[in-house]
């Protein structure tokens, strides 16, 4: 069923039918009703390609995800996509996913622009001075950043969580429990959120007259193994940390394993707080949650970014937003242990 066929059956011109179906105002209410009913009855759907060609809009939003051979797709990313994609669908947009080898990332953006395959993009996990921002501006593709590009002067539209504040809050919480020896197990500080987390951590220590120890702040790829190794090393040092903050639940698992393997009790001997995007584990991994955590609802974030982008594309003014994490007390924190004279 094409527009023309539908128009013929109604004894109208394709123009009028098109206008009615697209909600243009200049159509007689009665005619419009007739058209809408007929369209429904015949199960008419506009052919997307034809519409795209005619309007020049692709009605698709792109997500480019750089692929590494050694690393899994972040499950967080999948949740974000789910939230976003649901909004796209409901707004008539399609979701275009481009998983490409990391080396082809720039090229992929260029292709998408040249072929006009998408009307806009979401930029994930912005790095410091992220080149994608300039690239997309050059290509004149609307985009929204999930995360913050603090270092870029003319800041693009973004949605981020308040990482600095969250880590400051969590650290303060531990300080109030009496802890004085801290460690921070952070994600790679090339990703901008990691830096902000460290700032919050250090700020809290400083506010309470504690010194941050550079050897007890590590940034690294967040795998369970890495976390395990670093924690083990720390726990074997003299005056080991009694409170550890970590940047993801996967690394928290490694920390937890190390604590147990060292013959210590989580919560009693060593307290542990993790940041968690909503999260893969927290939700499925036990109730009450095994970890005290800073949670941020990632699916909601996906949906929000989607809405921001759609508005952005429509030319509306969109302002960036900063969401705060929820602080959840779990089983992994407790008062600082009494000092045992070694």
Partner DNA sequence: CTGAAAGCGCTAACAT
Partner DNA sequence: ATGTTAGCGCTTTCAG
- Which chain residues interact with a second copy by CB under 8 A? 43, 45-50, 52-53, 58, 65, 67, 72-75, 77-79, 81-82, 84-86, 89, 94-101, 108, 111, 114-117, 223-225, 228, 250, 253-254, 257, 280-281, 283-287
CA distances to 7, 68, 227, 232, 263 from 258, rounded to whole Å, are 71, 27, 8, 6, 9
CA distances to 127, 135, 149, 192, 305 from 123, rounded to whole Å, are 10, 11, 11, 13, 10
| Residue with Cβ nearer a second copy (84 or 183) | 84
Q: What tokens were used for 37?
A: 């009913």
| Residue with Cβ nearer DNA (53 or 102) | 53
| Residue with Cβ nearer DNA (3 or 183) | 3
If contact means CB under 5 to 8 A according to the sort of partner, which of a second copy, DNA, none does residue 65 touch?
a second copy
The residues in 9-68 that bind DNA, with binding defined as CB under 7 A, are 11-16, 18-19, 21-22, 25-29, 31-32, 46-47, 50-51, 53-56
Which residues, listed in sequence order, are joined to residue 64 by a DSSP beta bridge?
98
Q: How many residues bind DNA (CB under 7 A)?
A: 28
| Residue with Cβ nearer a second copy (85 or 161) | 85
Beta strands in the chain (DSSP E): 60-67, 94-101, 120-124, 143-146, 158-161, 182-186, 217-219, 243-246, 271-276, 292-295, 321-323, 326-328
Q: β-strand 120-124 against 158-161: which pairing, if any? A: unpaired
If contact means CB under 5 to 8 A according to the sort of partner, which of DNA, a second copy, none does residue 85 touch?
a second copy
If contact means CB under 5 to 8 A according to the sort of partner, which of a second copy, DNA, none does residue 82 touch?
a second copy
Contacts of 163 (CB under 8 A, 6+ apart): 193, 196, 197, 200, 275, 325
If contact means CB under 5 to 8 A according to the sort of partner, which of DNA, a second copy, none does residue 311 touch?
none
Residues that bind DNA (CB under 7 A): 2-4, 11-16, 18-19, 21-22, 25-29, 31-32, 46-47, 50-51, 53-56
């Amino acid at each position: 069923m094409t527009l023309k066929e539908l128009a013929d059956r109604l004894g109208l011109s394709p123009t009028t039918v098109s206008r009615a179906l697209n909600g243009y105002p200049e159509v007689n209410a009665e005619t419009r009703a007739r058209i809408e009913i007929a369209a429904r009855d015949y199960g008419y759907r506009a052919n997307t390609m034809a519409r795209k060609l005619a309007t020049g809009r692709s009605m698709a939003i792109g997500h480019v995800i750089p692929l590494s051979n050694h690393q899994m797709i972040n499950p967080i990313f999948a949740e974000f996509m789910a939230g976003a994609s649901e909004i796209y669908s409901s707004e008539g947009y399609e979701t275009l996913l481009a998983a490409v080898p990391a080396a082809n990332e720039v090229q992929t953006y260029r292709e998408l622009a040249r072929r006009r395959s998408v009307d806009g993009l979401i930029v994930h996990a912005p790095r410091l001075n992220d080149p994608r921002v300039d690239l997309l501006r050059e290509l004149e593709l609307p985009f929204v950043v999930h995360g913050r590009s603090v270092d870029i002067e003319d800041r693009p539209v973004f949605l981020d969580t308040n990482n600095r504040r969250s880590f400051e809050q969590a650290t303060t919480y531990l300080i109030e429990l009496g802890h004085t020896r801290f460690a921070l197990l952070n994600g790679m500080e090339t990703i901008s959120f990691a830096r902000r987390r460290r700032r919050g951590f250090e700020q809290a220590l400083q506010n309470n007259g504690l010194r941050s120890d550079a050897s007890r702040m590590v940034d690294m790829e967040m795998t369970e193994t890495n976390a395990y190794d670093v924690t083990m090393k720390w726990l074997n040092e003299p005056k080991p940390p009694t409170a550890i903050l970590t940047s993801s639940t996967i690394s928290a698992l490694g920390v937890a394993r190390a604590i147990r393997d060292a013959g210590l009790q989580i919560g009693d001997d060593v307290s542990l707080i993790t940041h968690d995007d909503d999260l893969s584990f927290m939700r499925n991994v036990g109730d009450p949650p095994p970890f005290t955590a800073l949670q941020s609802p990632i699916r909601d974030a996906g949906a929000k970014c989607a809405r921001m982008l759609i508005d952005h594309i429509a030319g509306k003014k969109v302002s960036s937003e900063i969401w705060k994490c929820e602080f959840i007390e779990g089983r992994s924190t407790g008062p600082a242990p009494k000092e045992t004279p070694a």
